[in-house]
Chains A and B, each alone.
Chain A
Amino acid sequence: MGNDVLGGFEHQVLIAILRLGSEAYSVPIVLELERRTGKSVAASQVYVTLRRLEKRGLVSSRFEPPPAAEGGRERRVFKLEPAALELLRETKRVFARLWDGLPILDEA
């Protein structure tokens, strides 16, 4: 499979990172996905997906030093690479074209 195919969960994780912006490390991503999808999400699933996306060059990460506040810790913060943004845009366009003209299912 080529580099241009997004798995369902990968897709969700990328959107979550987009939404979270500079706060995108694993814990908010898990919570964001749970909040938006209404399903429970395993931390390990997010972890391996992020690693995979990084390997594919879709996201990059850096370790941020602990915030000054008490109890802080080092965080690995993720950010989307241009390729990911392009892929998301493209996927959205494809879906929009696919759905174009169809009656909307979930409001029946």
Chain B
Amino acid sequence: MSGPAAGGALRRRLAALVLGLFLEARERAQVTADLEELREHRRRAGSRTAGLRWWWDLVRFPASLLIQRIRGGSSASADHGGVAAGAGTMRYDVRHAVRRLRRNPSYSVAVLATLTVTIGAATAVFSALNGVLLRPLPHPEPDRLVRVYEVDRRAADVEDRNPVAVANYRDWAEMNTTMSSMAALNAWDATAVIDGVAERVPVALVTAEVFDLVGVSAVLGRAFRATEYEEGNDAVLMLSYEYWQRRFGGDPAVLDRVIEFNGTQMPVVGVLPRGFRLFERNLDVWTPYTFSESALENRRSHYLTVLGRLKPGVTVAQAQSDLDRVVDLIRPTNAEFLDGWGVNVMLLKDDIVGSARPALLLLFAAVGFVLILGAVNVSAVTLTRALDTAHDTDVRRAIGATRGRLLQERLIESVLLALTGGAIGIGLAVVATRGLISMAPSSLPRADAIGVDPTVLAFALLVSLVTVLIGTVAIPGGGKVAEGLRVSGRSVTSSRVRRRWQAVFIGSQIALSVTLLVSAGLMVRSLSRLMAVDPGFEAARTMTMRIQLPGARFSDAPSQGPVLDALLDSALAVPGVTAAGITNYLPLLDTEGTWSVQIVGQPERRPDEKRDYGMHLVSPGYFETMGMRVVSGRAFDAADRAGRPLVAVVNESFVHRFFGPRENPVGRRMHLLARPEEVYEIVGVVADVHQESLDVAPVGAYYLPYAQLSDYHWIGVSRLVARLGVRSTDLVPIVRRAARALDPEILVYDPRTMADRVTDSSAVARTRFVSMLLAVFATVALVLTAIGVGGAVTQWTRQRRREIGIRLSMGATPSGVIRGLVTECGRIVVGGLAIGLLGANAFARVQSAMLFGITSTDATTYLSASLLVTGGAFIATLLPAVRAGRTDPVGVLRSDG
């Protein structure tokens, strides 16, 4: 549901919303279609502002219709388009409005401040929402692009989406009938040597269909030829535009260059267009994907990223059932691999933004509340002003001003305020958006698409106009209020109307702020719960870095192991380093590769039972360095080397999965399902570590010392971890120097402390991001509410000066007056609170998926939020009430006589 179609639907809905206030259904449909047609015309005529013009036209509609209605519309004087005299009147009206607003600074400033804050916040969040969720993916017909996963259904509770095995991909691509093409790619970090310097380059291996499928071709040179997708001819490269610019200065002569890539000399044949990305990843180098004979038979290893383009008119659901059919067809002959496995098709855009959607929608809803609060505040201030200037209005009407004329003036004032407040708000939003992006978790997809674009500007403008128009024109009963006023500010009717509205204002503000406070509070408490989770390791004073060995010279574990040992020794020699270790999968950061295991002496299990778990290849000293607890048996030591009996350590979840509660796994033996000849003795059990995320329960894992691995194994990118007794800045340079001395193509990069990795891990970063923004909104809401309540009570007491004066002169004490006012206000606050808490509960249920460690009915949060709002309202009430208590009864009675 993305793309121009979705944009059109959104526009139609918006237009219906705006026009619905003024036009009947048939007329509304006409105008909506007109606007859409005009936009299409302008767009096809090459206008870049067609979208903006659409917004502008839409926004002008209510204004034009209102003016027309006010003026009665039968005379040519209403026609001010292109007529000098008409424009002159307009200019005069505007000047007059500016003068009036400047004469009443407290009103103007209150409205402008409210508008700036609410519009700034709303626009910043909307720009994030627009960039991530609304804007279509930058590929042609993005609604037809899908991502396809293999689904592991053996774990009963979750649908585990996985990359795809090569043989399965081949079968799907050949046997499906719903896709016009399917493509596969695989991405990792490779080593390139350019001008004698080795560097790490993210590379994508792609099948022939990928570029056509996403509609991209070379901007320089050419794409890969069909023959280059055959084994033996595939040593060619394409570069990303950005890499070409960054590394080769945009020199077209790059096409004559040959780059040493993972040990092979490969010519550069082309450059891809600027900004071309797939899956949010910066992939610098692209090369053809060819599959070996053995890979084409492989259904066991899942590592392909698979994309598809739906045939025109085919839905995702149809493609899903088509591929289900294909999987059912191939399952009987491949039961060993496919039992318990299925397939999942989803829109590429949903795949990319999926995780961010709920958080963004929650924030948008929250910001919507802030907007409503802003509108309520503007209404309250404006109503107050209307009442204050009622006398003035009466005089003007008496000397002949029509009601339309007065309303028009008010309208012009409102539009002026809206435009000014909107403009300042947009400025604030630009700054806030930048801040938002820099604070956003790195897992936020499409962050580069976030920005203030015409759609966002139009949104801000529309929101400010609507806010002010609601605030000024559409005060319910506004006309009646004005009528009531004509009697006098003291009349009973008017003060009743007045008080009812003030009560509604106060009550709704309280309700909205409680909702926001509860929502923010729940997130903040989730964050603290999350940070309190024991990750299973000690993050403090631990430094980590990545090590990448050139694949050509170090192609298997026996050749890689000694190099890693040497680097480990160089780290251990650094003063201040108390322990150091190496692993291939760092917790919270790396996705584990899983391999099926078999415990010796246990029956072979059914194929649909899950028994593939993370295989961690580590050095002796890794557990100690990470502060992982050895629960029973022992950790690895230097004696566990090649030629010695093979050993393994497993974690507690692994023990739960494979052994009974009273069974001691130490001494038992296991092997990889695929390698029965290499049998490991389990020598120890370590405590679980949160591998995937702090909010995901740990799963089974086993650890093997890489020093004992045969040439069947390959270690891949590793992580060196060092525990520092004292702060040391020498560690990384020393390891780097040692690496260079061993081989100039060994890369040491990405140095970061483990503590930073924990705070930046996706669950923590997301929760922190959302809770921080919600806290800001809640604070804004609280301040707006305090201002609103304070203002209302001030008005209230001013109105009732006479009544208070009489009561004081009849013997009431000042404290009695104060108590009376506070009680009266308190009743409204309690009412608002009750509604707000109900609303908060409904809202919290929506966000419950984002909570951690607490429920959406967490009593502490609700209580604190209520206390905070009540306290704020109390203080806001007390000040004007105390002032009222000091009223001089004689003065009041004399002046109002």
Q: Which A residues contact B (CB, under 8 angstroms)?
A: 1, 5-10, 12, 25-27, 30-31, 37, 39-45, 47-49, 51-52, 55-56, 63, 73-76
Contact = CB atoms under 8 A, between A and B. Distances in A.
Contacts of A27: 34, 37-38, 41
B31, B34, B60, B81, most chain A CB atoms within 10 A: B81
B82 A52 contact: no
13 contacts: A1-B77, A6-B76, A7-B79, A10-B76, A43-B38, A44-B65, A47-B61, A48-B65, A48-B68, A51-B68, A52-B68, A52-B73, A76-B30
Q: Is the interface of B mostly helix, strand, loop or mixed?
A: helix
A52 B763 CA distance: 60
A30 B81 CA distance: 13
A45 B81 contact: yes
Contacts of B60: 42-45
Nearest to B49: A40
Contacts of A5: 76
A1, A37, A47, most chain B CB atoms within 10 A: A47
Contacts of B81: 7-9, 41, 45, 49
Given A30-B38, A39-B82, A45-B64, A56 B74 contact: yes
B76 A31 contact: no
B57 interface: yes
B35 interface: yes
B333 interface: no
A9 B77 CA distance: 11
B220 interface: no
B372 interface: no
A103 to B, nearest CB: 22
A12 to B, nearest CB: 7
Given A9-B81, A31-B41, A43-B38, A51 B61 contact: no
Nearest to B41: A31
A12 B78 CA distance: 15
Nearest to A41: B81
B41 A9 contact: no
Contact of B64 (A31, A40, A48): A48
Given A55-B74, A74-B29, A49 B38 contact: no
A47 B31 contact: yes
A95 to B, nearest CB: 15
Contacts of A10: 76, 79
Interface residues of B, number: 32
Given A1-B77, A52-B73, A55-B74, A43 B34 contact: yes
Contacts of A47: 31, 34, 61, 64
Contacts of A39: 82
Contacts of A51: 68, 73
A35 B83 CA distance: 18
Interface of B: 26, 29-31, 33-35, 37-38, 41, 53, 56-57, 60-61, 63-65, 67-68, 73-83, 86
B37 to A, nearest CB: 5
A47 B19 CA distance: 13
Contacts of A37: 82
A100 B448 CA distance: 64
A81 to B, nearest CB: 16
A52 B78 CA distance: 9
A76 B23 CA distance: 15
4 smallest beta-carbon distances between A and B, as pairs? A7-B79, A9-B81, A7-B76, A44-B64
A44 B78 contact: no
B751 to A, nearest CB: 57
Contact of B75 (A1, A31, A41, A74): A1
Nearest to B77: A1
Contact of B83 (A7, A40, A48): A7
B190 to A, nearest CB: 49
A55 B64 contact: no
A26 B34 contact: yes
B26, B53, B65, B75, most chain A CB atoms within 10 A: B75
A42 B64 contact: yes
Contacts of A26: 30, 34
A64 B37 CA distance: 16
B63, B68, B82, most chain A CB atoms within 10 A: B82
Given A8-B79, A42-B60, A48 B73 contact: yes
B26, B33, B76, most chain A CB atoms within 10 A: B76
Contacts of A30: 38
A6 B73 CA distance: 13
Contacts of B57: 42-44
Given A27-B41, A31-B38, A9 B83 contact: yes
A70 B65 CA distance: 32
A41 B82 CA distance: 10
A42 B76 contact: no
Given A6-B76, A12-B82, A43-B60, 14 more contacts: A1-B75, A8-B81, A8-B82, A9-B79, A10-B79, A26-B34, A30-B38, A42-B64, A43-B38, A45-B81, A47-B61, A48-B73, A55-B73, A76-B30
Contacts of A56: 74
Contacts of B41: 27, 31
A5 B79 CA distance: 11
B33, B41, B57, B86, most chain A CB atoms within 10 A: B57
A7 to B, nearest CB: 3
Contacts of A73: 33
A103 B890 CA distance: 78
Contacts of A8: 79, 81-83
A30 B74 CA distance: 22
A41 B81 CA distance: 9
A15 B83 CA distance: 16
A52 B73 CA distance: 6
A25 B33 CA distance: 12
Contacts of A49: 79, 81
Contacts of B83: 7-9
A27 B76 CA distance: 23
A74 B68 contact: no
B844 to A, nearest CB: 42
A30 B67 CA distance: 20
B35 A43 contact: yes
A10, A52, A63, most chain B CB atoms within 10 A: A52
A49 B56 CA distance: 18
A73 B30 CA distance: 9
A72 to B, nearest CB: 10
A74 B30 contact: yes
A31 B41 CA distance: 9
A41 to B, nearest CB: 8
A40 B64 CA distance: 16
A47 B74 CA distance: 14
A42 to B, nearest CB: 5
Nearest to B63: A44
B82 A9 contact: yes
A44 B79 CA distance: 12
Contacts of A25: 34
A49 B64 CA distance: 10
A17 to B, nearest CB: 15
A42 B56 contact: yes
Contacts of A41: 81
A39 B56 CA distance: 15
Contacts of A52: 68, 73-74, 78-79
Nearest to A31: B41
A34 B77 CA distance: 22
A74 to B, nearest CB: 7
A30 B73 CA distance: 20
A56 B41 CA distance: 31
Contacts of B80: 7, 9
A23 to B, nearest CB: 13
A25 B34 CA distance: 9
B876 to A, nearest CB: 41
Contacts of A75: 30
A87 to B, nearest CB: 11
A47 B82 CA distance: 15
